Every structure is written in structure tokens, then in C-alpha cells.
Amino acid sequence: MRRSYTHLAVQERALIETQLKLGMSPAAIAAGLMRAPSTVTREIRRNGWLAPAELSRLGRTRIAGGYRCVAADRRARLLAAKPRVARKLILGNPLWIVVVDHLRHGLSPAQIGSTLARMPDPVQLSYETIYTALYTMPRGHLRSSLLALMRRRHRARRPHRRQDGRSKPSIPEMTLIDQRSVEIRMRLIPGHWEGDLIIGKGNLSQVGTLVERTTPFVALVKLTSSKADVTAQAFTEILNRFDSQLRRSMTFDQGSEMRHHKTLTANTGVDVYFAHPHAPWERGISENTNGLLRQYLPKGTDLSLFSQDQLDDIAWRLNTQPRKTLGWKAPAELFLPEDAFDFVQHWSPKINHVALVP
């Protein structure tokens, strides 16, 4: 007997018809197929089979009791393609319009589901429902335009691929990540950041990224070059926007742009720690955030064209989006002072208050 159920294949249905013609009982057929007797019984009953006792009252005996494997397989395929429950998300309905509008605001399917659930009139919508609705659309301009709104812009859902790191130059007087205190490693209090660079077209432009490890609140840094002195000055200006209690440490990779980390520490009070070479998982929050930022700063883009104000606007978009790791709260809710950001007040105007569900 099989441990997990699978639908009958056309070959099994053909065997059922043949063995019924030979006069075998449904129980014997099920044993030969290593199926539960109820599986075979339901299959033949729902497809016109009658027991010999029933056939005797009808006159002429029907071949295989009236069961036909080709017709049964065709019926099964048609029923499998027809949903048993009416779909909640249908192209063009009010809920579809709301989902597309949230995609245009930069939210992922999971974030859309959590946002709708937190509204005054909550709607329960699984992110898998959104993915299914988008990726099962017919090929064409509409499908391409909607998939272009997705964060990764993949034409199909696919697993992440591992990328090998490259060697990094040594940094003078650097403190390795191993020497971080417990409160930094465990993310017990806010104020500890992870930093990195996003590289633009032709490796000729770059934007600095800062992600607070506890919240994770994002700040972006405009860089005119990746030189160490320019990087130290630009990161200093952004970090000094925050109170001293919210700028305690920063973890960076061993890129040459952070050679002046001592200057950065002197100007901000931020202790700088360095991850090991070829170990991006040691700054996992930063790596994940860089992937999210690629929705707004795509690869192959000249990042020098973005002003600091534009980068602040992009960071604010991420900081107001609900995050699964935060119990679907937004980073701004946790990082900013209490009552400085109201999630419902921020997102309610972006939702068309019509009947989202029947």
C-alpha cells in the first residue's frame, strides 16, 4: 500500500478496465495495483460502472461493467483543472486592482498579504495566491508588465543560486567580526548596523547601504566615488543623522572603500567590525536588503544619477513596508520614536475602499 496518495494514472485506469473485463473484483484489482480498495471503488462508480447484480436487471451485460478508461481519464483531467472553490483573486476584480496597486508601491506578495490583513476591513490573502495569479497569466504584454513590478523580475519562480565571493584587500588595524559583543551578535538592542556598497553600471558608480540589525531600518548613502576618504565622509554624514544611542557599531566587508574606518569611528563614535572574506552570510541582513533595493536600483543602472533626496525616498519605501521577520510590522514602526509612524494611516489612503471581497 502506498504511504502517500497520488491520482490514478491513465495506465492504471487501462488495467482497471482490462481486469474488469476479465471479471476480477474491485478488491482484487486494488490489491494488484497496490491501491486502497476505496480508491478503485470510487473510480469505477463515478465513471459508470455497475456491479453484476445491478447489470442483471438491465438486460444485456455491459463490457467491463460500463467503465471506460479513456473517458474516465478525460473526466479526471477536466475536474483537476476546475477549482473546487471560487478564486478570490481574479483578473480585473477589485482585489486584483488593489494587489496591482501595492505592487506598484514596491511591496512583495507576502507584504501585500500582511498589509491587507492589518487594514480596518481586513482581507485574508495568501502570498501564494498572488504568485499563482501572476505566473499563470497568459503570455503577453500584460503579464510582462506585471512581472516587471516584482522585486526580482523573474519570468518564473526559481531558487536562489550560490555565488562565490572574491578576494578582498586587507584593511589596516581592522577588528574582525569574531570580537563583536554578545549584544551585537544577538541583536539585543538597536543601533548596530551592517554596511555595504551597491555597484552600478560598468562598476563606475555606487551607493552605500546601511541596515540596522534589530529593526531592520535602511539608510542609503550617495557616493561620488568608492575612494576610502569619500566613503568615510559620506557614511559619517548619514550616520550622524541618528542619535548616538542609535549608532553604536557597523559591520562591513573587507573592501578597500573602508580603509579609513578609524576616521569614521572618530567622527561618529561607531565601532567598525569586518566580516571574513568570502562569507556574505555573516552580513545576511545587508545582503538580503541589497536584493530588495535592486527593485529600485536595478543592475546596469548609472547610480550617480540618483540624488541623496531620491535615495532617502527609496529607503523610506523599504522602511514603511511590512516585514515577515518583524511579525509583519514595518521597520519604521520599531526604529523611529513611538507614534512617529502610523502604519494604518500611511497605507490606508493607498487602498481603494471598495468591496474587496463579495
**pLDDT of amino acid 354:** 47
Where is pLDDT greater, at 322 or 154? 322
**How many CB atoms lie under 10 A from the CB of residue 221?**
23
Lowest mean pLDDT among 5-9, 22-26, 175-179: 5-9
Residues paired with residue 248 on neighbouring β-strands, in sequence order: none
- Band of pLDDT at residue 169, cut at 50, 70 and 90: low
Q: Give the CATH class of 175-319.
A: alpha beta
Cis bond before residue 216 (omega within 30° of 0): yes
Of 26-40, 85-99, 305-319, least confident by mean pLDDT is 85-99
| pLDDT greater than 70 at residue 352 | no
Averaged pLDDT score across all residues of the chain: 86
What is the residue extent of each domain of the chain?
10-81, 94-157+345-350, 175-319
Give residue 358's pLDDT. 45
The residue type of 67 is: Y
Report the share of the chain in percent with pLDDT over 70: 88
Residue 24: CB atoms within 10 A of its CB come to 15
Distance from C-alpha of 316 to C-alpha of 335, rounded to nearest angstrom: 12
The pLDDT-based confidence of 286 (bands split at 50, 70, 90) is very high
Check residue 64 and give its pLDDT.
Answer: 80
For residues 112 and 146, what is the distance between their CA atoms, to the nearest angstrom?
A: 15
pLDDT of residue 51: 79
